[in-house]
Amino acid sequence: MQTVPFPDARVPTRTHCLLPRQCTAIVEQRFIALALFGDDNNPMKPLNSVPLEGAVAVVTGGGRGIGLAIVRKLAGLGARVVLTGRDEALVKRIAADLTGAGRRADGLRCDVTDSHEVEVFGKHLQKTFGKVHILVNSAGIGGPSGELHRLAPADWDSILNTNLRGVYYMIRAVVPLMIDSGGGHIINISSLAGKNPLPRGVAYSASKWGLNGLSYGAAEELRGHNIRVSVVCPGSVNTEFSSHAGKSAERMLQPDDVAHAVEALVTQAPQSFMSEILLRPTQKP
C-alpha cells in the first residue's frame, strides 16, 4: 500500500509526466479522487486543478515577498492557507482579499521569535482546524551588512532567533498536529547563503547553514511519521528583503519562482521526497 502525503486532507494525487512519448504515470489514491475524476485510468483526463483541496497550509512571513507568493500559490492549488507575520493588519487584509477572490485564507499575527506567541498560534490551529498538512517557514531577516567582528550581539540574536530558532518554534507547535493528520510536508525557505560563504553577511549565512542542518535532521526524525521536510535554497530574489545593490531586478529570481518550487514539492507523488532545491537565476543578475 502506498504512503499517503496528506491522508486527512483526502488529497488526490496524479502525477503526469508529459514526456515526448506521452509517458503518463498516474499515482492514484483512494479518497476523493474518484469523485473528482471519475475514471482515473484515463490518462487523457485533465489534471486536478485543486490538488490541495482539503489541505491546511501554514505560511510564516506570508505578508509580502516570497511568503506572499507561496500563499497565493497554495491557495490557488486549493489549500486553506493560514498566513502569519508581525503586521497583523497586513496579513488579515491579504486573507480577506484572497477570500474575496474565492480562495480560503486566514491571516494571523505571529512573531516567530516569541515562543509563547508561537505556542498560542499552535493552539489556535489545533482548535480551529485540528490538523495541518503543510508548513512553509518563510519568515526571515537579513540583518545589517558588515563584518562579523563588528556585528552587535543584538543583531546576531535577532538574525538567529528569526531564521533558525523561529523555525524550531514553529516545528514544535505544528508537528504534533501533522502527526495527528497522518503526515505532512514542512518546507523551509533557506538560501544559497546556507550553502556558500557570505562575507559581510556571516550571521545570516550561519543561520541558513543551521537551517539546512535542522532540515536534514528533522527530515530523518519525521519520515517515520510520513512527514517530509524539504529545504529550498534560492539565490537573490527580487523582494524588499535587501537592496540587492548592483543587481538587475529583471534577471533576479522572482518570488513566484520560489512559489513554483514549493508547488513542485507539495504536488509530488506520495512515495517521492524531493529533499532540497537549489534555485539559481538563469543569467547572473
Residues taking part in catalysis: 204
CB 203 within 8 A of CB 143: yes
**Which candidate, 215, 227, 237, places its Cα nearest to that of 68?**
237
Cell 529583471, located at residue: 250
Stretch in the footprint of ligand NDP (CB under 6 A) among 23-31, 40-48, 146-154, 237-245: 237-245
Does position 234 bind ligand NDP by CB under 6 A?
Answer: yes
Cβ proximity to ligand NDP: between 3 and 254 the closer is 254
Helices (H), 183-278: 202-222, 255-266
Stretch in the footprint of ligand NDP (CB under 6 A) among 17-25, 36-44, 58-66, 118-126: 58-66
Question: Using the rule CB under 6 A, which residue among 7, 65, 122, 184 binds ligand NDP?
Answer: 65
CB 211 within 8 A of CB 194: yes
- Please count the residues of this chain forming the interface with ligand NDP, following the rule CB under 6 A: 26
Q: Rounded to 10 degrees, what is the CA torsion of 26, 29, 31, 34?
A: 30
Does position 66 bind ligand NDP by CB under 6 A?
Answer: yes
**Which candidate, 162, 84, 137, places its Cα nearest to that of 258?**
137
Shortest distance (Å) from residue 174 CB to ligand NDP:
14
Does position 138 bind ligand NDP by CB under 6 A?
Answer: yes
**Which candidate, 191, 169, 67, places its Cα nearest to that of 112?**
169
Q: Which residues lie near ligand NDP (CB under 6 A)?
A: 60-61, 63-67, 85-87, 111-113, 138-141, 162, 189, 191, 234, 236-237, 239-241
